[in-house]
Structure 1
Amino acid sequence: MFGFFKRKENEVIKDIAGPSGTTGLLPLNDQDFVMPIEGEIIPITEVEDPVFSEKMMGDGFAIIPTNGSVVSPVDGEIMNVFPTKHAIGIKSKQGYEILIHVGLETVNLKGEGFTALVKEGDQISKGTELLTFDLEYIKNSAPSTVTPVIFTNATNITVKKQGEVRQGDYGIVSAQ
């Protein structure tokens, strides 16, 4: 839909069959993923935007943030930083493509209130700060601060926690 995980022309994609037979993805365990933002986890189905709540872009969860910092949830590579800095695409070393989309309809803010700290191609580790945002500005300027965290290329994601969590917490999701 957004084209942020576009493949380069003539790029050869090698498939890896994981233990579950999921092509291209290796298992993601409790220690492979950390909470990217401090706040409250809610089910993706409760996000007030059908693109996310109906899982049109993939499965995942959402966060009602309590601070304005986003860290990498995985070890991997930055695939895309949107020009408006409201969203970042990451590819984990296990092959999962993850979209972190700060707020709803925040593309309309045209980058105001966001500071990207990484660029496309950067290698990142769990806990690396990716971007900061002015939470109060977003509360006052966008319909919602709810931040979807979407696995755009996986349907076997298990969200293991709900409610309040701290940035950097483990045991949030797994995938087989």
Structure 2
Amino acid sequence: MIEKHIERGLFASRWLMAPFYIGLVGSLVILLIKFLEELWHTVTHIGSITEIDAVLAALSLVDLSLAGNLILIVIFSGYENFVSKMDLDGHEDRPDWQGEVDFSALKLKLIASIVAISGIHLLKVFMGLAKYSDRDIMWMVGIHIVFVFSGVALALMDRISHGAATGHGAAGDGH
């Protein structure tokens, strides 16, 4: 009897994660405000910015949108994997991937998004090389390479563990 109450309490504790996902919605609002500020700044200075400034502004907007997409993926998949399924089956705008991103796929999507965001940031740095020291650029490239290798390592570990779970071993099924 005590065990049953403990298990029910532990299961109910998953709802303690809900405020985390609500907080992430707040961070999405903050990103939206920064996106709108960057867009407004670019539009109001359109006559005086250089081509490089226009590309940098576009990269900043892409960077912010990728970060927003990343937060949405974490909110949707995290909530559905750890708190409760969202009852949106009849909604026409429900993303196809929603409800199908498990923890393993979430890790890969997260690292892929981090690598993309890091790559965009690095491209912005390369377009303004004069602003950075060689040491700073070396550190930024090194960190980006760590992100890339981390993503590859996570993907390999996932493939190996998936192969082991399905009985195919580390080699997978030959595809």
Report if TM-score (shorter chain) is over 0.5: no
The structure whose residues are more often helix, as a share, is: 2
Give the TM-score, by structure 2 length: 0.21
Which has the greater radius of gyration?
2
Higher relative contact order (CA 8 A, sep 6+): 1
Q: Give the structure with the higher percent strand.
A: 1
